[in-house]
Amino acid sequence: MIDIGKFNELRFIKKTDPGLILTDGEKEVVLPYVHAPQEAEIGDNMHVFVYIHSDGRLMATTETPIAMVDEFAFLEVVDVNEQGAFLNMGIGKDVFVPEREQKRPMKVGQKYVVFLYTDERNERITASSRLTDFIDQDMHDLEEGDEVSLLIFDESDLGYSAIINQKYAGLLYHNEVFEDLQPGDVKRGFVKKIREENKIDLSLQVIGFRHILDLKDSLLLELQENGGIINLGDKSSPEEIYNQLKISKKAFKKAIGSLYKERLVLVSDDSVKLAPPSSEKIDQNAD
């Protein structure tokens, strides 16, 4: 069965004026010559993206779209009419967003996070910016501390809403984010907490003890690469720490505190230094 809006493995069976004819054994698909490999021979299997042309024919391309059916993506509006908007998929074929599927009226030249699906009535690739209708509410394969892929799609007074692993939705709180995020940004994140009704709190920092271990190694490397000193300390602002190290002040203080207890660093209000070997030996002998 051919999957519209996705890649398919189809067999090349003949040539026609419009292009190569491919099949899954039941239906035929046209691959225009402009997208066909010159070395293709009848009988070859081909990996192609399939969609429905405006005239109703099944068409194929070897180009890779920005997104496929059942995926969330950040796409640009290239045209608008009374029925809806058309977004660029990156393959010379635009995807239609009906007016009813627009959370806010779309404008040419603007980009929006949308979900791609096939319209049950005509099997055409369609998109919607009403994302909550397509978000999975079942968190059975997520656990606190998991590393996840995030697609930022909205901002509120609380923080930034993000699509998690192309399935779920979660929130990055403003007071835990130290960079300017925009809809469409893709970030590595972590599941901080799964609350009642499967609401997910997210973080851009690694969660838990593993975070401190990772940060200790990173900070030691940073110190070694900067002559044994980092010009950040207890009185440095969260913004200063994030701008230089891309971590929160809380995480910075935990990691530095752990290194200090191991007598690996010296800490002041405005700097962290590698502890000299001699002072480490003296401290160890004193014990």
Note the pLDDT tens digit of each residue in 172-211. 999 888 888 999 999 999 999 998 888 999 998 876 544 5
pLDDT in tens, 230-265: 999 888 888 888 888 777 787 788 888 888 888 888
Q: Which amino acid is at 259?
A: L
Quote the pLDDT of residue 281: 43
- Of 208, 195, 145, nearest to 169 by C-alpha is 195
- pLDDT for 50-98, tens place per residue? 999 988 899 999 999 999 999 999 999 999 999 999 999 999 889 999 9
State the number of CA atoms in the 13 A half-sphere of 239 facing the CB.
2
CB-CB neighbours of 261 under 10 Å: 9
Look up the pTM and report it: 0.75
The DSSP bridge partners found for residue 191 are 202
- Between CA 245 and CA 234 the distance in angstroms is 14
Q: What is the DSSP letter of 196?
A: G
Put residue 90 in one of left, alpha, beta given phi > 0 → left and psi -120 to 50 → alpha: left
Q: What amino acid is encoded at 145 in this protein? A: G
Both tokens of 267, joined, read: 């800490």
Quick one: how far is CA 192 from the chain centroid? 17
> In this predicted structure, what is the pLDDT of residue 276?
85
> What is the reported pLDDT for 208?
52
Distance of CA 234 to the CA centre of its chain: 33
- Domains, the chain, ordered by start: 7-61 (2.40.50.140), 72-132 (2.40.50.140), 147-203 (2.40.50.140), 209-286 (1.10.10.10)
